[in-house]
Structure 1
Amino acid sequence: MIRITDRIALDESEIEESFIRSAGPGGQNVNKLATAVQLRFDVRGSPSLPEDVRERLEKLAGRRLTREGVLVLTAQRFRTQERNRQDALERLVELVRKATERQAPRRPTRPTLGSRKRRLEGKTRRGTVKRLRRVQSGEE
């Protein structure tokens, strides 16, 4: 079990890993060894995620989510499979942890009376300056 929060834990069987050739560092080995990790997690089919977390995770995943609702993370920062596996898993945990956080609903606010008066005074002042810059009818 991979612990996300005290209420949410993902089962390892829900995560599928495959190894692909990496485009990152590796010297001569880069063309021979499959060190990059492609982690797949079925967001829509996961029994471990509550519905609200699932919806937020789908929004957070963006283009990393397939049409079928599978989250695909590719890790190729490091030169070894093991470190890339760790990196991909940490990124998944971080993404799910972010999805567990609810955003506070926005409460619409109104400008104060003082701020409205200051705004209107500024507009009046600016209009006066512009009016004084105009060419007078008898001056030209």
Structure 2
Amino acid sequence: MCMQDQCRDSRHSGTRCVCTPTRLSRLLEPALLLALLEAPRTHGYDLLNAVNDMGLADAEVDPGSVYRTLRQLEEDGYLVSSWDTAGPGPARRVYEVTQAGLELLELWANALQRRYTAIKNFLERYESVVKS
């Protein structure tokens, strides 16, 4: 089922909709998926740092949000996790992207490309009006 009330695309029935990423915090999903593709089998703390390094938010991402989002993505089948018991210290949960997660990331990339194009067009029009 579409997760966004604003979505008018009937193709998204039964799936997570990314048509209207109205809040920047929604970018946490694709940021985590991309970070996991860049570094598979990564644990939450490193993912938190990777997302913060992307600079998608004005402030540092809340660690609780990262872990809640990871848990939700796993429940929805977009990630799988396992315990890494190698090395010193306590066991850590590591995550990997599933095929469904790759498909979700592609949906996000397409939606963000459309937003990018719209924002770019807006800024070009703004510049032409203000600078003339």
Same fold per TM (> 0.5)?
Answer: no
Task: Return the structure number with greater helix share.
Answer: 2
Task: Return the structure number with greater strand share.
Answer: 1
Q: What band does the TM-score fall into relative to the shorter chain?
A: under 0.3
Could you state the TM-score of these two structures normalised by the residue count of structure 1? Answer: 0.23
Could you state the TM-score of these two structures normalised by the residue count of structure 2? Answer: 0.24
